[in-house]
A and B are shown apart, each in its own frame.
Chain A
């Protein structure tokens, strides 16, 4: 299944924020997590993650820090801020509203909401 480009773009911000809400991370690890979460269905071209992360930084949703882990190269870590969490909560509300509407419009696909959890 190929997920529509607009849908991928719309879900990118909440997805990245949600991953960072699990704990600080860096570019490559975030992408791996996206693949794992979507079971490979969400296909990004890897490079596009970075402009997105920069946008989140400018909006104050994440802060960045260059660090060298014990093994390996210097890399840029991203940490979610309180504002980022607030934005994530807002995204979550909107997505739930959308999925609830779709769920009601498509009778019989009740599994949709239960996987998303409670509102």
Chain B
């Protein structure tokens, strides 16, 4: 008896080692195993014989865990190779990442010298920033996912089109449309990277969710790299300044290269070190979602009570938009990190509070904006802001509806996820509209 128990414990350890299985799944399989053993023992088998037969009947655990992995890409993505699959030739691939990172850094430095930045700040530099860095990220993924020629062409096409649009449009000097393009182009190109990231498909909803996860993790890594870089620069200044070295000149070189290369390095870290951050990102979401929910609920109440006489001004509007985007990011990321097999819990309620709070604020912002446009007419900035808020409003309304249905037990989490993954292209399309359609519409003013 003792012996069989230790055998079961060993088997359990082995099964639990598979990345796609969580504790509950292992419990369930163990329950199955014990059931089978009990039945076999009743039929006259010895305990340890029963154990062997029951294990054999469960089947090859590698195949089973691969099947689990296919079902739970949320767990699988932490380790993109299932057990038994061939590892890629260079397991970490850091050389590859480094080549692309250095490429991005070199290009940004060359562009910087051409622009004479920071003494001079020509607007073409700001407009083209995304085009200087993100092609390297896209190419990195296209190579890593071994896209075929067609995949490479489809990946490259939006960059080429964007390069033409951004540089051939005759923007007026200091025009609003140009600033809007500079703000929206990186977003558009970020979505373009999704294509090679997802291995040359855009239809799979599970892969879209993987991309959301990637974006969240990438952000965390990028912030960490930026913090580390900041410490390094501060210490460099502290050490070299007394020696009479012109630290500003060093910073001029290091910062752009670091910021550009960091984009690729962060992506590489997400790819190869997924397990490390895995524990941190959901914790951060858990921590901040309630805090933001509380803040949003308070803000919604405060503005509902006091706002009416006071119209939103432009700065306040941008703060609100930033807030709404952060909330959407938290909700999306919280959802992507959630274990879909668990039923509704308190976190889902808190998320609903956050979404409803954001929704109320968004409605107020929109109301104020429509009033402004009614008084003063359309401008590029107002149009871009109005569009963004409408896009956010529809998303938040859908999310609020579906998550309350989910909490009421009338819908599934799957529906809610589907809504978000289906909606992702809308953001990309709107950003692309701002880049491509808005400038000619307003005469490049």
Contact = CB atoms under 8 A, between A and B. Distances in A.
Given A27-B31, A45-B63, A58-B414, A51 B70 contact: yes
Given A45-B64, A46-B32, A64 B414 contact: no
Contacts of B28: 27, 50, 75-76
A73 B71 contact: no
B72 interface: yes
Kindly name the residue among B58, B71, B341 whose own CB sees the greatest number of chain A CB atoms within 10 A: B71
Nearest to B412: A60
B280 interface: no
A47 B59 contact: yes
B34 A73 contact: yes
Contacts of B58: 45-47
Q: Is the interface of B mostly helix, strand, loop or mixed?
A: helix
A60 B414 contact: yes
A47 B412 contact: no
Contact of B64 (A51, A64, A66): A51
B3 interface: no
Interface string B14-49: 000000000011011101101110000000000000
Nearest to A82: B410
Nearest to B417: A58
Contact of B68 (A50, A57, A59): A50
A47 B61 contact: yes
Interface in B63-79: 63-64, 67-68, 70-72
Contacts of A10: none
Given A48-B64, A50-B68, A54-B71, A73 B31 contact: yes
Contacts of B343: 63-64
B72 A54 contact: yes
B313 interface: no
B36 A57 contact: no
Contacts of A28: 31-32, 35-36
B93 interface: no
A55 interface: yes
Contacts of B367: none
Contacts of B68: 50-51, 54
Interface string A22-40: 0000111001000000000
Contacts, number: 78
Contacts of B340: 57-58
A74 interface: yes
B275 interface: no
B414 A46 contact: no
A27 B32 contact: yes
B384 to A, nearest CB: 37
B314 interface: no
Contacts of A51: 64, 67-68, 70-71
B57 A46 contact: yes
A45 B415 contact: no
23 contacts: A26-B31, A27-B31, A28-B32, A28-B36, A31-B32, A45-B63, A45-B64, A46-B57, A47-B58, A47-B61, A47-B64, A48-B59, A48-B64, A48-B67, A51-B68, A57-B341, A58-B340, A58-B414, A59-B414, A60-B412, A64-B341, A76-B28, A83-B412
Interface of A: 26-28, 31, 44-48, 50-52, 54-55, 57-60, 63-64, 66, 73-76, 83
In the A-B complex, the 9 residue pairs with the smallest Cβ-Cβ separation, listed nearest first, are A45-B59, A60-B412, A47-B64, A51-B67, A28-B35, A47-B58, A47-B59, A46-B58, A51-B68
Given A45-B57, A54-B25, 18 more contacts: A26-B31, A27-B31, A28-B36, A47-B59, A47-B64, A48-B67, A50-B29, A51-B67, A51-B68, A52-B67, A54-B341, A58-B71, A58-B412, A60-B411, A60-B412, A60-B414, A76-B24, A83-B412
